[in-house]
């Protein structure tokens, strides 16, 4: 169970993690679920569904979900915990966070050079409906390490984390999710969101 004491401790750890990774808040005042790093890409080439390539050396936006904020959301909504309800809650908050992400990229010094946004998560099951492509991680060892890390987060931030890990072991394998900046803007720019 997520306790207030645990969340307080996590806030301190999160501040250290934030400093080490050079993460930037998209919109901290409105509790946006995204933090990002804009940097050159070092991995294998990726191609989005609309034909945009991400190759080694290209600038891209690395997406990080703000797991502490997700833990707080789950704690605030403790009366009805189930896998489906929790996922719908998180997806709703992610959708609400997209318009500010498009604005952040538009005003970032390297924003014009960014053509693809990429993240790694096990919350990928609704990603295609949100406009993202989904792909296995290229390295089995990296996938295992990421899975271990993300499962630790689930155990810490979800009131029923241990039970969910035991019941759905095959679900907790992270995957890459990515989208072109053009697709992101078409669907989520401030003029309104596509909730399709």
The answer as to whether 166 is a domain residue is yes
Please state the pTM of the whole predicted model: 0.77
The answer as to whether 125 is a domain residue is yes
- Could you read off the pLDDT of 73-127 as tens digits, one per residue? 776 765 555 556 777 888 888 999 999 999 999 999 999 999 999 998 877 888 9
Cα 112 from chain centre: 21
Q: What is the DSSP letter of 57?
A: T
The answer as to whether 15 is a domain residue is yes
Question: What pLDDT is attached to residue 14?
Answer: 59
**Domain of residue 143, CATH code:** 3.40.630
The answer as to whether 196 is a domain residue is no
Give the chain's domain count. Answer: 1
Which comes out higher in pLDDT, residue 152 or 65? 65
Longest distance between any two alpha carbons in the chain, whole Å: 47
**Which residues form the domain of 177?**
4-188
The answer as to whether 121 is a domain residue is yes
The answer as to whether 94 is a domain residue is yes
Strands 175-180, 116-121: pairing is antiparallel
Please answer whether residues 34 and 63 qualify as being in contact, where contact means their C-beta atoms are separated by less than 8 angstroms. yes
3-state SS, residue 172? coil
The answer as to whether 174 is a domain residue is yes
Question: What pLDDT is attached to residue 88?
Answer: 80
The answer as to whether 111 is a domain residue is yes
């Amino acid at each position: 169970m997520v306790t207030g004491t645990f969340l307080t401790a996590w806030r301190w750890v999160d501040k250290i993690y934030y400093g080490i990774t050079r993460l930037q808040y998209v919109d901290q005042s409105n509790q946006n679920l995204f933090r990002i790093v804009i940097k050159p890409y070092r991995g294998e080439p990726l191609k989005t569904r609309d034909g945009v390539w991400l190759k080694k050396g290209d600038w891209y936006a690395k997406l990080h979900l703000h797991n502490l904020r997700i833990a707080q959301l789950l704690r605030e909504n403790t009366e009805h915990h189930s896998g489906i309800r929790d996922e719908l809650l998180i997806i709703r908050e992610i959708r609400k966070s997209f318009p500010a992400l498009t604005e952040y990229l538009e005003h970032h010094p390297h924003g014009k050079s960014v053509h693809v946004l990429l993240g790694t998560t096990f919350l990928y099951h609704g990603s295609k409906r949100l406009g993202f492509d989904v792909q296995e991680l290229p390295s089995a060892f990296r996938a295992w390490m990421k899975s271990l890390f993300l499962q630790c987060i689930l155990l810490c931030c979800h009131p029923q984390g241990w039970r969910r890990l035991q019941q759905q072991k095959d679900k907790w394998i992270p995957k890459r999710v990515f989208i072109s900046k053009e697709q992101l803007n078409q669907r989520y720019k401030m003029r309104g969101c596509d909730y399709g």
